[in-house]
Amino acid sequence: GDTVNFYNDTRPIFEAFLDNPYIALQIITAKVGEYPPELYPYVSRIYFYSAGDSDTFNVIRISGFLSFFTFNTYACISLGFALLSFTGMWKMYRVFYDLYPQIHRPLAWAIFFIPSVYFWGSGLMKDSICMGAFIHQKRKILLEFILFSTCLFCFICL
């Protein structure tokens, strides 16, 4: 499935880290689809990525970055994604727990133990990143709300 394809496409990035770490960092940080010629031997071997699909390539970038620290081991890269997902799920649980402390057990079951949530948040997939991004999205929404409220207040006062 997708997890195997994502993993296979991290190999060229890992090999780039071994050959020249600067090239690997260029692959990870380059704009999608715009690569200097020296990156072509590596980028051309990333097969699962289709041109213009930045979501897929972002998963490959993140797993490629993690591959350097995990010696390109699938289990360790997947564990990194699962950890990212768990932090987002934990934050989600804490948000709902603060709102509804009386139903903490059903919340825990719904967020942590339903098989589909457990599966989709535990591997080398886009879904793990989405669940982990809940932490950052909550902060962003709060900041946007504060900014909007401040602008509205200033507009009303003027």
113 and 148 belong to one structural domain: yes
pLDDT in tens, 83-125: 888 888 888 888 889 888 999 998 898 888 887 776 777 788 8
pLDDT at 140 > cutoff 70: no
Print the domain residue range for 143. 79-157
> Looking at the 3D structure of the chain, how many domains does it have?
2
Looking at residue 72, its pLDDT comes to: 95
Local structure of residue 20 (DSSP, 8 states): -
- The angle that helices 2-19 and 54-70 make with each other, rounded to 10 degrees, is 60
CB contact burial 21-47 (16+ within 10 A = b; e otherwise) = eebbebbbeeeeeeeeeebeebbeebe
* Residue in this structure with the two tokens 């930045």, named with its chain if needed: 54
Note the pTM of the prediction, 2 decimals: 0.78
125 and 150 belong to one structural domain: yes
Q: Which amino acid does the sequence have at 69? A: F
93 and 31 belong to one structural domain: no
104 and 132 belong to one structural domain: yes
* Token duo for residue 76: 């360790």
Looking at residue 25, its pLDDT comes to: 92
